[in-house]
Chain A
Amino acid sequence: MDQKFIDAFLEGTIDVIKTMAFIETKPGKPYMKNDNAAVGDVSGIIGLTGAVIGSLALSFSEACILRIVSNMLGEEMTTLNHDIEDAVGEITNMASGGGRKILANGGLNIAAAIPTVVLGRNHSIQHVLGGPSIIIPCSTEDGPFVVDICLVERSK
């Protein structure tokens, strides 16, 4: 996978979390994941088509997403509920949009589907292409999340 995709979707994700939740993110060293097990407690996944085929997933630890959504809503969230699910879907959608905008500036037009959210420990993430995927681990003051990308660029 070309580095530009990792950079674009990571930047899109960091921007969303900073803008909407005022939280700084520190990305770590990417690694390859060969199974479908989600890293976090709640995940959003969105399919991508056009210049690429594949999917982007964001997987959050419970503590991390509760803080993010609390900041977004201006009220304290204490459990993984429907509001959290909605928010993860919207965050994934916005992160995808941000990344796609960066890639569009480089001539790559990518469309996104409606995101799906899976909630609960030990859930799995089914990427469009099956896998393996590239994980960028990210840390915040309130806990970790990962950006999980599995895509290929279509031949021209």
Chain B
Amino acid sequence: MGKNLNFLVVDDFATMRKVLRNLLKQSGHENVVEAEDGVSALQIIKTQKIDFIISDWHMPNMTGLELLKSIRADKEVSDTPFLMITAETVPDSIISALKAGVSSYIVKPFTAEVLSEKIAKIMEKMG
């Protein structure tokens, strides 16, 4: 389902972007663009067709939460599915992300199967 989705992966660690690309590939998703921070991600979103965003939470310059808020505030891309990656489950942080309109979150570490399920559930909700 949705194997032609164009993914944008945002993480300040190049290796984690590679790991995510590998996990997406295992799930059959080959179209992946990378951004090293939220600022780069916003530039990519304005110029390329992005169907799904996966972003780390803690990043310099612009956090994943700030990126999410920027996207939700831009009418042209505000409906883009957004999956937040986090290493911890601090309730206040999760609530902030949900209030800001995150589609879902996923806690590291996770398998390709878990990632695939999250993506599928989000896309199913969108209809």
Contact = CB atoms under 8 A, between A and B. Distances in A.
A93 B15 contact: no
Contacts of B18: 73, 83
B108 A94 contact: yes
Interface in B58-109: 87-89, 107-109
Nearest to A15: B109
Contacts of A15: 109
Contacts of A74: 22, 25-26
B13 A86 contact: yes
A126 to B, nearest CB: 23
A25 B13 CA distance: 25
Contacts of B14: 82-83, 86
B26 to A, nearest CB: 8
Given A15-B109, A86-B13, A73 B22 contact: yes
Contact residues on A (Cβ < 8 Å of other chain), bracket: 20 to 34
B19 A19 contact: no
Nearest to B58: A114
B31 interface: no
Interface stretch (A96-104, A128-136, A142-150): A96-104
A11 interface: no
Contacts of A82: 14
Contacts of A96: 87
B42 interface: no
Nearest to B22: A74
A93 B87 contact: yes
A98 B25 contact: no
Instruction: From B16, B25, B110, name the one whose CB has the most chain A CB atoms within 10 angstroms.
Output: B16
Interface string B21-39: 0100110000000000000
A94 B109 contact: yes
A19 B110 contact: yes
Given A16-B109, A19-B111, A97-B88, A90 B13 contact: yes
Interface in A40-99: 69, 72-75, 82-83, 86-87, 89-90, 93-94, 96-98
Contact of A20 (B19, B25, B88, B89): B19
A90 B22 contact: no
Contacts of B16: 86, 90
Interface of B: 13-16, 18-19, 22, 25-26, 87-89, 107-111
Given A15-B109, A90-B16, 11 more contacts: A20-B109, A72-B15, A73-B18, A74-B25, A75-B22, A83-B14, A86-B14, A87-B19, A90-B15, A94-B87, A101-B88
